[in-house]
Amino acid sequence: MIMCVDMAQENIISTIINTTVAAVLVLLLTACSEQQDESATETRIKIKYLPQDPARYTRGLNLFQSHCAACHGRQAQGAPGWPAKDASGQFRPPPLNDSGITWHHPMHNLVDIITDGTLKFGGGMPAWKEQLSRKDIDDVLFWIQSQWSREKYESWYRLNYEVEQSRKEFEKTRK
């Protein structure tokens, strides 16, 4: 009888081990298949990196230094104390390099923020549409994006791509 209990316990232990191994294998296979799905999505979007354009970089840098650096810092590092609010209750100017959140916004939002400012949203940034042309704004953004790490630029590019695809789909439904 003791022998039967030992055999029964051995069978239970064996079943537990086999079930655990099977569960781990299922989890691993599921994780691998999810990773493949994510990487398939990522490879679908071909990242277009900023071109090497020293003249455009210099124009963007000069425009940034003359119009933006007073608030956002000479290296786009943002105002000290960001993201806390200042004494007037407004958020301090954010970093525009990849330590901030600028790379979380699609291109049309970045252009709109520079063009129209943030005063209408309770922010402190003035509109620049009277001082900067669209080409000037594009050059400033070119310089800002050149300050981002490759990882942040790729994340921004994917976001921007997805937003632009959604905007195109939305426009089709409006016609």
CATH code of 91's domain: 1.10.760.10
* Residue 121 domain flag: yes
Q: How many CB atoms lie within 10 A of CB 136?
A: 16
* Residue 145 domain flag: yes
- Answer yes or no: do 110 and 167 share one domain: yes
The pLDDT score that the predictor gives to residue 135 is 98
The pLDDT score that the predictor gives to residue 44 is 77
- Answer yes or no: do 79 and 148 share one domain: yes
* CA dist., res. 116 & res. 127, Å (int): 4
- Answer yes or no: do 103 and 129 share one domain: yes
The pLDDT score that the predictor gives to residue 11 is 43
- Answer yes or no: do 79 and 165 share one domain: yes
* Residue 100 domain flag: yes
Q: Identify the burial level of 28 via C-beta atoms within 10 angstroms of its C-beta, where 0-12 means exposed, 13-18 middle and 19 or more buried.
A: exposed
- Answer yes or no: do 59 and 38 share one domain: no
- Answer yes or no: do 40 and 83 share one domain: no
The pLDDT score that the predictor gives to residue 1 is 40
The domain tally of the chain equals 2
* Residue 49 domain flag: no
Q: Which domain range does residue 150 map to?
A: 54-174
Low-confidence ranges of the chain (pLDDT < 70): 1-43
The pLDDT score that the predictor gives to residue 90 is 87
Residues 93 and 78: beta-carbon distance below 8 Å: yes
The pLDDT score that the predictor gives to residue 91 is 87
The pLDDT score that the predictor gives to residue 89 is 86
* CA dist., res. 102 & res. 83, Å (int): 13
Cβ-defined contacts of 21-25 (< 8 Å, 24+): none
* CA dist., res. 102 & res. 1, Å (int): 73
The pLDDT score that the predictor gives to residue 175 is 75
The pLDDT score that the predictor gives to residue 3 is 41
The pLDDT score that the predictor gives to residue 76 is 96
- Answer yes or no: do 38 and 72 share one domain: no
Q: Identify the burial level of 143 via C-beta atoms within 10 angstroms of its C-beta, where 0-12 means exposed, 13-18 middle and 19 or more buried.
A: buried
